[in-house]
């Protein structure tokens, strides 16, 4: 049996794994270079759900499946809500069952949707710089992205390169950088517009590039001139010196601007992305080796789904889902009671649901509320295949272990399709379908066909790059603090070891371990303080996965991209 697989988690690195003597370890190739992160190194130690249960009582899998069929038979309105707990492609077989059954599915994004909408508006489609291309760059800009935590495998590629970091937190990469701009949260669009304006003033715009690919650049220059330099610099916490230094470091260099989700957790997140893209266009860094602006890629671009519906299922947004409109809600690979924005609203809505079903690996705030809990199989116990948002590869994930615990997505879909007389192909044929979109390269790695090694080398998807044509600052005034809620090294969103602290700058006057209440217009939460010099004085950091963090966030959707916006609400901190 082939004993090579890939990490199933929603992570840039998509590590390749060797399974030997019942243990997993990283393969000494590609980005993985023999190392996995702590999540996978301790994967088998995390306590998983072992038995199905109904209304709090353990039952057999057989009975759980019978109950599930009974519930679905009698349900007038059913919702299938799927999250990102496992990133592999067979997760979608459950969408196929529910869509064919007549249930409602979800659309929109709890993750990167606003930024992606901005990219598509400007460039036509979202393509990435692969690690091979990043390696060829001379200057790397981490813009709202924290590689030590979220993609540690690219760190070796940074050797001998100039690094610039734009982040309100002095992250590890910021500490080591040639320039760290500790920008005020949500100041990025103005910063990018100012960088662009100074590029024009200096005469450093890549004229040849913009004439060919972005002929409307003069109009964009006019837009940048509407930004009042002094007032805006003060407002976003950036100095003229920062702008000068930035431009000096990138001039005539191969520059990779790597954007993370940090820049776009706002209503106008798409516009933020578009201003950064515009700056990249003026610098002329697209369509060239070792340079570009890169974000989380569209992992399924160029791959058609094998799961075809005879009629299109209805969809509701996963940002502000009205669960209460449904009689039955089936939640798969997700923890919406903690990870969706505005979780007070989510809880209230879910309380109205008659039958709440949870299908997952771990106990969490969502499984605790569910009537019926069905344990899943781990990635080692089922056959699957995955793609990535940071490479053009597809990774096979064959079954490597037997287990009596849980049921795989395919087996569950098969059981349900059988019960409701829905046609389902074999698991192998679906996996083969996915593999029909790849070709094997010399090293035996599966590459998705039609993806370019150098992004946009044949031009943008639109005939020309489309500049943002108006910009209005979306920041509300006030003395309240900014909420930062980014990824923790201990957890993968709410999986594994979650954080339980609020991080504050010492100058705010609170003491280590003091219990405080953090509140916003949406809700509140009490946490112990951890004093943190890495933060700006006007910021409050609560990591993703922390129980209750999303009591504070809004369920408004981003203006573009139907995406959650976790950092739009400001917060207050008071002693309790």
Q: Which residues in this chain contact ligand SF4 in the complex, by CB under 6 A?
A: 7, 9, 11, 13-15, 36-37, 39-40, 153, 492
Would you say 16 or 332 has its CB closer to ligand SF4? 16
Applying CB under 5 A, the span of 107-115, 340-348, 467-475, 547-555 interacting with Mo ion comes to 107-115
334 binds Mo ion (CB under 5 A): no
User: In the bound complex, what is the minimum distance in angstroms from residue 140's beta carbon to Mo ion?
Assistant: 21
Applying CB under 6 A, the span of 179-187, 208-216, 277-285, 515-523 interacting with ligand MGD comes to 179-187
First and final C-alpha spacing in the chain: 58
Applying CB under 5 A, the span of 60-68, 104-112, 443-451, 497-505 interacting with Mo ion comes to 104-112
Between helix 240-250 and helix 229-236 the angle, nearest 10°, is: 90
User: In the bound complex, what is the minimum distance in angstroms from residue 89's beta carbon to ligand SF4?
Assistant: 16
Cα 465 from Cα 432, distance rounded (Å): 37
Applying CB under 6 A, the span of 73-81, 121-129, 465-473, 486-494 interacting with ligand MGD comes to 486-494
Applying CB under 5 A, the span of 103-111, 165-173, 321-329, 416-424 interacting with Mo ion comes to 103-111
CA angle 158, 186, 228 (to 5 degrees): 105
Mask 58-97, x = binds Mo ion (CB under 5 A)? Answer: ----------------------------------------
Cα 274 from Cα 63, distance rounded (Å): 52
Q: Which does 494 bind (CB under 5 to 8 A by kind): ligand SF4, Mo ion, ligand MGD, none?
A: ligand MGD
111 binds Mo ion (CB under 5 A): yes
Q: Which does 140 bind (CB under 5 to 8 A by kind): ligand MGD, ligand SF4, Mo ion, none?
A: none
> How many H helices and E strands in the chain?
18, 30
Cα 221 from Cα 138, distance rounded (Å): 27
CA dihedral 247→249→255→258, nearest 10 degrees, is -80
The DSSP annotation for 201-250 comes to HHT-S-HHHHHHH-TTHHHHHHHHHTS-HHHHHHHHT--HHHHHHHHHHH
The only residue of 489, 514, 530, 547 in contact with ligand MGD, by rule CB under 6 A: 489
Would you say 41 or 354 has its CB closer to ligand SF4? 41
User: In the bound complex, what is the minimum distance in angstroms from residue 12's beta carbon to Mo ion?
Assistant: 10
Applying CB under 6 A, the span of 114-122, 162-170, 416-424, 519-527 interacting with ligand MGD comes to 162-170
The residues near 296 (Cβ < 8 Å, ≥ 6 apart) are 12, 111, 112, 115, 116, 128, 260, 261, 389, 390
Would you say 87 or 143 has its CB closer to ligand SF4? 87
- Cβ–Cβ < 8 Å for 475, 503: no
User: In the bound complex, what is the minimum distance in angstroms from residue 288's beta carbon to ligand MGD?
Assistant: 24
Q: Which does 194 bind (CB under 5 to 8 A by kind): ligand MGD, Mo ion, ligand SF4, none?
A: none
Would you say 86 or 388 has its CB closer to ligand MGD? 86
Cα 385 from Cα 66, distance rounded (Å): 29
520 binds ligand MGD (CB under 6 A): no
Would you say 100 or 342 has its CB closer to ligand MGD? 342
Would you say 465 or 503 has its CB closer to ligand MGD? 503
99 binds ligand MGD (CB under 6 A): no
Q: Which does 40 bind (CB under 5 to 8 A by kind): Mo ion, ligand MGD, ligand SF4, none?
A: ligand SF4
C-alpha distances (whole Å) from 216 to each of 210, 221, 280, 458, 463 are 8, 9, 14, 19, 12
The full 3-state SS of 315-376, as one line of letters, equals: EEECCCCCHHHCCEEEEECCCHHHHCCCHHHHHHHHHCCCEEEEEECCCCHHHHHCCEEEEE
Between helix 269-283 and helix 113-123 the angle, nearest 10°, is: 40
Q: Which of residues 258-277 bind ligand MGD (CB under 6 A)?
A: 260-263
CB-based burial label for 507 (10 Å; 0-12, 13-18, 19+) = exposed
375 binds ligand MGD (CB under 6 A): no
- Cβ–Cβ < 8 Å for 544, 491: yes
Would you say 80 or 451 has its CB closer to ligand MGD? 80
239, two tokens: 């100095």
Cα 381 from Cα 395, distance rounded (Å): 16
Mask 109-148, x = binds ligand MGD (CB under 6 A)? Answer: -xxx------------------------------xxxx--
User: In the bound complex, what is the minimum distance in angstroms from residue 111's beta carbon to Mo ion?
Assistant: 3
Q: Which of residues 490-519 bind ligand MGD (CB under 6 A)?
A: 491-495
Q: Which residues would be at the binding site for ligand MGD (CB under 6 A)?
A: 10-11, 83-86, 110-112, 143-146, 149-150, 166-169, 171, 183, 185-186, 188, 260-263, 332-335, 339, 359-362, 364, 376, 484-489, 491-495, 544, 549-550, 553, 566-567
């Amino acid at each position: 049996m082939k004993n090579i697989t890939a990490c199933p988690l929603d992570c840039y690195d998509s590590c390749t794994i060797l399974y030997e003597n019942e243990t997993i370890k990283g393969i000494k190739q590609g980005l993985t270079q023999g190392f996995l992160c702590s999540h996978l190194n301790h994967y088998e130690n995390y306590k998983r759900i072992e038995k199905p249960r109904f209304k709090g009582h353990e039952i057999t899998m057989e009975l759980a499946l019978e109950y599930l069929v009974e519930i679905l038979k009698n349900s007038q309105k059913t919702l299938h809500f799927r999250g990102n707990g496992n990133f592999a492609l067979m997760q979608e077989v459950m969408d196929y069952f529910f869509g064919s059954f007549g249930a409602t599915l979800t659309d929109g994004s709890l993750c990167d949707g606003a930024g992606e909408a901005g990219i598509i508006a400007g460039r036509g489609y979202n393509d990435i710089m692969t690690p091979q291309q990043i390696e060829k760059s001379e200057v790397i800009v981490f813009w709202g992205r924290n590689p030590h935590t979220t993609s540690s495998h690219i760190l070796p590629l940074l050797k001998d390169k100039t690094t610039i970091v734009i982040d309100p937190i002095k992250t590890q990469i910021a500490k080591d950088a040639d320039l760290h701009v500790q920008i005020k949260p949500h100041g990025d669009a103005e910063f990018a517009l100012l960088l662009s304006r100074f590029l024009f003033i200096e005469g450093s715009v890549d004229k040849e590039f913009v004439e060919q690919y972005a002929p409307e650049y003069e109009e964009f220059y006019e837009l940048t001139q509407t930004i009042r330099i002094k007032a805006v610099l003060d407002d976003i916490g950036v100095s003229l010196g920062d702008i000068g230094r930035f431009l000096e470091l990138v001039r005539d260099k191969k520059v990779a601007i790597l954007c993370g989700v940090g820049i776009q957790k706002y209503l106008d997140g798409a516009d933020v992305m578009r201003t950064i893209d515009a700056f990249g266009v003026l610098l002329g860094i697209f369509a060239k080796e070792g340079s570009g602006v890169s974000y989380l890629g569209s992992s399924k671009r160029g791959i058609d789904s094998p799961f075809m519906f005879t009629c299109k299922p209805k969809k509701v947004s996963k940002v502000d889902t009205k669960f209460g409109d449904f009689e039955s809600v089936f939640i798969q690979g997700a923890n919406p009671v903690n990870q969706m924005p505005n979780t007070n609203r989510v809880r209230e809505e879910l309380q109205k649901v008659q039958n709440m079903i949870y299908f997952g690996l771990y106990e969490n705030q969502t499984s605790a509320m569910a009537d019926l809990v069905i344990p899943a199989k781990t990635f080692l116990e089922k056959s699957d295949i995955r793609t990535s948002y940071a490479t053009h590869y597809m990774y096979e994930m064959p079954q490597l272990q037997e287990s009596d615990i849980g049921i795989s997505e395919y087996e569950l879909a098969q059981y349900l399709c059988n019960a409701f007389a829905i046609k389902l192909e074999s698991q192998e044929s679906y996996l083969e379908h996915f593999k029909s979109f790849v070709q094997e390269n010399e090293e035996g790695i599966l590459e998705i066909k039609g993806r370019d090694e150098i992004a946009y080398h044949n031009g943008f998807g639109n005939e020309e790059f489309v500049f943002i044509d108006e910009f209005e600052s979306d920041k509300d005034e006030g003395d309240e603090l900014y909420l930062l809620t980014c990824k923790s090294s201990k957890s993968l969103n709410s999986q594994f070891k979650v954080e339980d602290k609020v991080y504050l700058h010492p100058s705010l006057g609170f003491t280590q371990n003091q219990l405080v209440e953090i509140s916003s217009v949406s809700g509140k939460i009490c946490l112990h303080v951890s004093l943190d010099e890495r933060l700006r004085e006007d910021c409050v950091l609560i990591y993703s996965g922390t129980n209750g963090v999303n009591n504070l966030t809004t369920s408004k959707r981003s203006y573009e991209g139907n995406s959650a916006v976790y950092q739009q609400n400001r917060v207050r901190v008071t002693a309790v």
